[in-house]
């Protein structure tokens, strides 16, 4: 038992070190590269075009990548725990589809030109919240959650949202089509620092709230009935965890677009390495997701520089290849 805790502590420490290194890499690498010595000098002087690049462009992207990656991975590990299924991810419940439909409607009807720059993320969040509301209402029967029913409803709502969005895309102009497609593929290029800070604070708050339910999540690994015998209010716990994961996903998607595989591959890999104790798995998943998104963003903006790839392309390619490699060499655990 002691060896297990030492192993988990070493892994968590390694994740913190990797996070620091990924942040340093993201600050240093780009169209203009900086050495560590130059970074220290630039941040000390706080003048010149170099400081503007670091402070106004790269740092906000890192902060947003940290928050979005952490939120999506945290949401994934929560939902996988609630459903006791390693294939469930935040987008399975249709949240991304609802957000994407909201953004598509805004772009097609040019609501962002009428109501201002906040309309795109706001419409994405509204679409995500409406999806959460529908899944929640349709899944509750006599004040009891049917998690299998919830999963099926989420998948169907996702299909309906995707079909509706495709209809809009097929009937709109080429300019609107380009905007919708680019948003769907995801990007950390958010110029409004207020939105970046909002996502960051929401992700930290979500982590703290969810961490209070680490022990109930451990109990839910045994199933709802056994968790009830252990004194866990399963209905309340599932409700809070579902809403928390959904809101974290909705906020992330509304600002950064659809960034796939983060909520699927990161929790699965860390569960294989660390085990299923949610007292450490929640924090590890948050850190792992942040590292994955920050590094993916570095690749996305440098691999074909001076052009930039959507970050969803990188996370999808890397995540898909890693996931196929992992599942071909291991057996799934369902809790």
In this predicted model, what pLDDT tens digit does every residue of 282-324 receive, in sequence order?
999 999 999 999 999 999 989 887 788 889 889 988 888 887 8
Q: What's the rounded mean pLDDT across residues 245-265?
A: 88
> Whole-angstrom Cα distance, residue 318 to residue 232?
38
Q: What is the pLDDT of residue 334?
A: 46
Q: Positive or negative CA dihedral for 227, 231, 237, 238?
A: positive
Fold of 60-327: ABC transporter involved in vitamin B12 uptake, BtuC (1.10.3470)
pTM across the whole model: 0.89
Q: Assess contact for 278 and 153: CB atoms under 8 A.
A: no
The yes-or-no verdict on residue 123 having pLDDT over 70 is yes
Closest residue by Cα to residue 172 from 257, 128, 94, 106: 106
Q: Assess contact for 199 and 71: CB atoms under 8 A.
A: yes
For residues 37 and 87, which has the higher predicted lDDT (pLDDT)? 37
Q: Can you tell me whether residue 295 is helix, strand or coil?
A: helix
Mean pLDDT estimate for the chain: 87
Q: What 8-state DSSP symbol labels residue 186?
A: -
The yes-or-no verdict on residue 112 having pLDDT over 80 is no
**Where does the pLDDT of residue 325 fall: very low under 50, low under 70, confident under 90, or very high at 90 and above?**
confident
Domain ranges of the chain: 60-327
**pLDDT single digits (tens) 152-210:** 888 888 889 889 988 988 888 888 888 888 888 888 988 888 899 999 999 999 999 99
> Whole-angstrom Cα distance, residue 80 to residue 22?
27
Please name every residue paired with 140 in a beta bridge, in sequence order, or none if there are none.
145
> Whole-angstrom Cα distance, residue 201 to residue 68?
11
* CA 106 to chain centroid: 22
Angstrom CA distances, 71 to 1, 112, 179, 249, 261, stand at 30, 26, 25, 7, 13
């Amino acid at each position: 038992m002691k060896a297990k805790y030492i192993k988990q502590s070493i892994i968590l420490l390694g994740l913190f070190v990797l996070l620091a290194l990924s942040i340093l890499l993201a600050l240093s690498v780009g169209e203009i590269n900086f050495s560590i010595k130059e970074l220290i000098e630039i941040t000390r002087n706080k003048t010149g075009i170099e400081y503007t690049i670091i402070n106004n462009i790269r740092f906000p992207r890192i902060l947003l990548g940290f928050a979005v990656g952490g939120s999506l991975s945290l949401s994934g590990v929560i939902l996988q725990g609630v459903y006791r299924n390693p294939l469930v991810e935040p987008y399975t419940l249709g949240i991304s589809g609802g957000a994407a439909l909201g953004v598509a409607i805004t772009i097609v009807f040019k609501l962002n030109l009428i109501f201002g720059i906040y309309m795109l993320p706001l419409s994405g969040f509204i679409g995500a919240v409406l999806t959460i509301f529908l899944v929640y209402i349709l899944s509750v029967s006599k004040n009891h959650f049917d998690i299998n029913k919830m999963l099926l409803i989420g998948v169907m709502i996702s299909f309906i949202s995707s079909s509706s969005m495709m209809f809009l895309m097929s009937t709109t102009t080429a300019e609107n089509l380009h905007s919708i497609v680019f948003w769907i593929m995801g990007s950390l290029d958010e110029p409004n620092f207020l939105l970046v800070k909002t996502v960051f604070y929401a992700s930290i708050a979500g982590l703290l709230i969810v961490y209070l339910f680490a022990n109930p999540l451990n109990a839910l690994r045994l199933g709802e009935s056994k968790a009830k015998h252990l004194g866990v209010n399963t209905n309340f716990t599932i409700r809070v965890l579902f809403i928390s994961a959904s809101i974290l996903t909705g906020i992330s998607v509304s600002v950064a677009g659809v960034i796939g595989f983060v909520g699927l591959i990161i929790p699965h890999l860390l569960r294989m390495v660390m085990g299923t104790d949610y007292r450490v798995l929640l924090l590890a998943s948050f850190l792992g997701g942040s590292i994955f998104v920050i590094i993916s963003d570095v690749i996305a903006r440098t691999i074909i520089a001076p052009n930039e790839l959507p970050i969803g392309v990188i996370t999808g390619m890397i995540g898909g290849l890693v996931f196929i490699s992992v599942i071909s060499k291991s057996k799934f655990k369902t809790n």
